[in-house]
Amino acid sequence: MFTNFIYFIFFVLIYSTNTYSAATDSSFSLQTALLFFGFAIIFSCASYLKFKTLEKSILHQTNRYIENKFESLSKQFSILAILLFAVNIYGLALPSYTQKINLFKSFPALEALVFLCLFVFYLTVVRASAYGTYKKLNSADDMSRSSYILSNISFGIPVVLPWLLLSAAIDIINHLPFNGLKLFFASSGGELAFIIFFLFIISIFGPAMTLKLWRCKSLEKGEDRFRIEEICNKAGVKFAEILYWPMFGNRMITAGVMGLAKRFRYILVTKPLLRLLDTDEVEAVIAHEIGHVKRHHLAFYLLFFSGYILLSFATLDLVVYATIYAKPLYRFLTDSGIKQSTIISITYSISIIAVFVIYFRFIFAYFMRNFERQADTYVYSFFTSAQPLISAFNKISYFSGQSGDKPNWHHFSIKERVDYLNKCEADRSWIKRHDTKIKKSIAVYLVCLIITGIVGYNLNFGKTSKKINEFFVEKTILGLIKDNPDDPEFPAMLGDLYYSLNYYEKAKNAYEQALAIDPNNSIVQNNLAWLYATCEDENIKNADLAVRLAEAAVKNKKSAHIFDTLAQSYFAAGRYNEAVEAGKKALSMAEADKSYYEKQLAGFMDHLQRNR
């Protein structure tokens, strides 16, 4: 069940960690198109043939063998779909082509939606190929091919929906006329705060949207609904609705609870659960779900998701720094022609995926397993014995055809859960022991979270952050200059960095290096002219050279900020009449921040009047 969530989470990680590469800055080639369609066709044919072969073998194999093989093939081809999507993103670099489309430049969320559709297409190919085998294994199920595909795909979509909505919200904010708001959300702290706030909002209102996607329907009035309502009322748990959960064609024997707030909380049950379990067993299962609510597990899951965001925020910059600093370890790659920027991008992407896998596979899964056990023991709040729940587990194991010993990364196996309940039957102190274990685990987690937050703050906002960033940004740009000796952009970037740090001599040398590569680069001419005109170091300040560079920059490109530099250069040279004229041109061409240019012009005019 949760595996479908993981597939879509990997989609988000693969797509969001992709970075635009200038190396692919060319038109969409015939070779790229042939590879894209060729891979898709090979994948589709392989999926169809594998499942068709399995379908034909049904007559010669036991149902248990075919079912296990079916599940295995479904997982294998779903993983291949992920790998194929990764090839599209990293190997064929498809985003580098779509990012040239103006609509996608303005609204990146639309581009994300297009690639989500591509990923869903690959998963659809797998489900469509698997349908024939599924139908023969479940001959009593009258589900159509389209319904089967939709029920499988729609289950994972809610994982992507918050990310897609967040992307759309950011796009909208970027188009609002509120510069202060945009600057805040562009900062590391603002971005983190917005993501966590958005996550909280989704956790409140998301369940209603999710259940619409899953096409859940209200449980009709009758004995089943009455019993569920009765036990919820007894526990003091409020809910919005009790719904049928049509998971994977109504094949799953399970129940669930969604929603933090009672107005948006839903109790979910599948039809096989109500059909196969006795009344007391159904009540025991619902008691388990109530345990999740009463023990605040849903709120803790929100905390754990926020913790992952904080962990990523705090540590992933360290990966970039470490990759830059460890260049001697991968020098053989750069010597073979691979650029350092490419190595950093790939390392960063792999690290994001690795952090996600480690965090959710070990930390998050640890709490999930133990929360499930705690919810199991909550059955004693309603019953004197856990035998109804034990009986329900045994039936679920039998009718689902899965071994009770089957391992599960997010749940203890059914056998382990039954064994623990039997221990509680013999000695109720095991309930308290487990509650204490969870309290201690959460306390340790919170301490680690606070430490991570402190580290993250210092790495992104404190003095440590400034020093580390200065060092590694310089080292990165120097590496880029070495990799791209004929590109004036990188020495120009180095000059900007040195100027911002008041390293004026180094800034001058970097700008001169850029002009040696491209003598007519108006941006570099403008920046070096500004340095010569305004530098606090009299040994570097050179008004005449500033005027020559600024005049050359204006000839190459006429814009407000370049005319402003020319005005400042004339002013430094004592040519106040020309400074005023250039200042007027700068103001007339300004599209934004006119107050700055007005202030500049007023200063030039004041000096002109006082020196007449």
pLDDT in tens, 394-426: 999 888 777 778 777 788 999 999 999 999 999
DSSP SS3 for 227: helix
CB 14 within 8 A of CB 119: no
pLDDT in tens, 360-390: 999 999 999 999 999 999 999 999 999 999 9
DSSP SS3 for 438: helix
CB 304 within 8 A of CB 367: yes
Q: Please report the pLDDT score of residue 338 as a whole number.
A: 67
Residue 125 to residue 145: CA distance in whole angstroms: 12
Q: Give percent of the chain above pLDDT 90.
A: 51
DSSP SS3 for 243: strand
| List of residues 6+ apart from 346 with CB closer than 8 A | 90
Arithmetic mean of pLDDT over the chain = 87
Q: Does the pLDDT at position 17 exceed 60?
A: yes
Q: Which CATH class is domain 520-610?
A: mainly alpha
Q: Does the pLDDT at position 344 exceed 80?
A: no
DSSP SS3 for 28: coil
Q: Does the pLDDT at position 463 exceed 70?
A: no
Phi then psi for residue 267, to 5 deg, are: -95, 125
As a whole number, mean pLDDT of residues 84-106 equals: 89
pLDDT in tens, 141-199: 778 899 889 888 988 888 898 889 888 988 888 887 777 777 777 666 677 677 778 77
Best-predicted range by mean pLDDT among 30-34, 182-186, 349-353? 30-34
Task: Using DSSP bridges, classify how beta strands 266-269 and 255-258 pair: parallel, antiparallel or unpaired.
Answer: antiparallel
CB 151 within 8 A of CB 216: no
Label residue 354 by pLDDT band (50, 70, 90): confident
Residue 421 to residue 376: CA distance in whole angstroms: 8
CB 521 within 8 A of CB 495: no
H-assigned helices in 63-187: 63-86, 95-98, 102-106, 108-137, 145-174, 179-186
- SS (HEC) of 73-108: HHHHHHHHHHHHHHHHHHHCCCHHHHCCCHHHHHCH
| List of residues 6+ apart from 368 with CB closer than 8 A | 410, 411
- Total length of the chain: 612
What is 200-276's CATH number?
3.30.2010.10
CB 224 within 8 A of CB 282: yes
Which has the higher per-residue pLDDT, 324 or 492? 492
DSSP SS3 for 385: coil
Q: Please report the pLDDT score of residue 439 as a whole number.
A: 97
Q: Does the pLDDT at position 132 exceed 60?
A: yes
pLDDT in tens, 495-539: 998 998 889 999 999 999 999 999 999 999 999 999 999 998 889
If you search the block for the tokens 């005005």, which residue do you land on?
567
Task: Report the C-alpha dihedral over residues 368, 370, 376, 377, rounded to 10 degrees.
Answer: -150
Residue 474 to residue 545: CA distance in whole angstroms: 27
Q: Please report the pLDDT score of residue 329 as a whole number.
A: 63
Residue 226 to residue 47: CA distance in whole angstroms: 46
| List of residues 6+ apart from 201 with CB closer than 8 A | none
Strand partners, 268: 243, 256
Centroid of chain to Cα 592: 33
Q: Please report the pLDDT score of residue 29 as a whole number.
A: 79
As a whole number, mean pLDDT of residues 1-21 equals: 79
Q: How distant, in Å, are the alpha carbons of 178, 533, 545, 564, 603 from that of 573? A: 38, 8, 10, 14, 15
pLDDT in tens, 301-338: 989 988 998 888 777 767 766 766 666 666 666 666 66
Q: Does the pLDDT at position 99 exceed 80?
A: yes
If you search the block for the tokens 């053989």, which residue do you land on?
332
Q: Where are the beta strands (DSSP E) in 464-607?
A: none
Please report, as a single letter, which amino acid is at residue 75. Answer: K
Task: Using DSSP bridges, classify how beta strands 241-244 and 266-269 pair: parallel, antiparallel or unpaired.
Answer: parallel
DSSP SS3 for 242: strand
Q: How distant, in Å, are the alpha carbons of 9, 37, 166, 237, 262 from that of 160? A: 7, 25, 10, 29, 24
Q: Does the pLDDT at position 26 exceed 60?
A: no
The separation between the first and the last C-alpha atoms of the chain, rounded to the nearest angstrom, is: 83
Label residue 22 by pLDDT band (50, 70, 90): very low
Among 328-342, 436-450, 474-488, the range scoring the smallest mean pLDDT is: 328-342
If you search the block for the tokens 């490109």, which residue do you land on?
557
Task: Using DSSP bridges, classify how beta strands 217-218 and 255-258 pair: parallel, antiparallel or unpaired.
Answer: unpaired
Q: Does the pLDDT at position 244 exceed 80?
A: yes
Residue 137 to residue 127: CA distance in whole angstroms: 15
Residue 539 to residue 537: CA distance in whole angstroms: 5
Q: How distant, in Å, are the alpha carbons of 31, 225, 388 from that of 222? A: 62, 6, 21
Q: Please report the pLDDT score of residue 331 as a whole number.
A: 65
As a whole number, mean pLDDT of residues 452-460 equals: 79
**For residue 2, what are its two tokens?**
């949760």
Label residue 440 by pLDDT band (50, 70, 90): very high
Pick from 333, 151, 167: which is nearest to 244 by CA?
151
DSSP SS3 for 554: helix
Which has the higher per-residue pLDDT, 355 or 115? 115
Label residue 543 by pLDDT band (50, 70, 90): very high
Helix 522-534, helix 504-517: angle, nearest 10: 150
- CATH 1.25.40.10 in the chain: give the residue spans: 520-610
Among 40-44, 325-329, 473-477, the range scoring the smallest mean pLDDT is: 325-329
